[in-house]
C-alpha cells in the first residue's frame, strides 16, 4: 500500500519490494492510492480512499489463512 503523492518515499520502492516478493514465489498484493501522502497510519486522512487499507489487509490475511 502506497500513496502516489508520498513526498518522502517514491512509490517505485513499493513496486520493487512487491515484485521481489512475488519473484520469490510468495503471496503479495499491492494497492496504490492517488492521495494519502506519507505516514497516513491508522487514523486515515480526510476521507481519502487510502483509509480502506485496514479492511484490505484483513481481507488478504483471511484469504491466505493467516490466524
pLDDT tens for 1-28 read 899 999 999 999 999 999 999 999 998 9
Residue pair 24/54 in contact by the 8 Å Cβ criterion = no
Q: Mean pLDDT across the stretch 29-50?
A: 77
Nearest to 16 by CA among 28, 5, 34, 33: 28
Residue pair 64/54 in contact by the 8 Å Cβ criterion = no
- Cα(23)–Cα(29) distance, rounded to whole angstroms? 13
What pTM does this model have?
Answer: 0.70
Nearest to 1 by CA among 24, 26, 42: 42
Does residue 52 register a pLDDT over 90? no
Q: Strand 32-33 and strand 2-3: pairing? A: parallel
Amino acid at each position: 500500500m502506497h500513496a502516489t503523492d508520498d513526498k518522502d518515499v517514491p512509490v517505485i520502492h513499493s513496486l520493487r519490494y512487491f515484485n521481489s516478493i512475488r519473484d520469490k514465489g510468495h503471496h503479495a498484493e499491492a494497492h496504490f492510492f492517488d492521495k494519502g501522502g506519507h505516514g497516513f497510519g491508522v487514523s486515515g486522512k480526510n476521507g481519502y480512499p487510502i483509509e480502506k487499507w485496514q479492511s484490505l489487509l484483513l481481507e488478504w490475511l483471511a484469504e491466505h489463512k493467516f490466524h
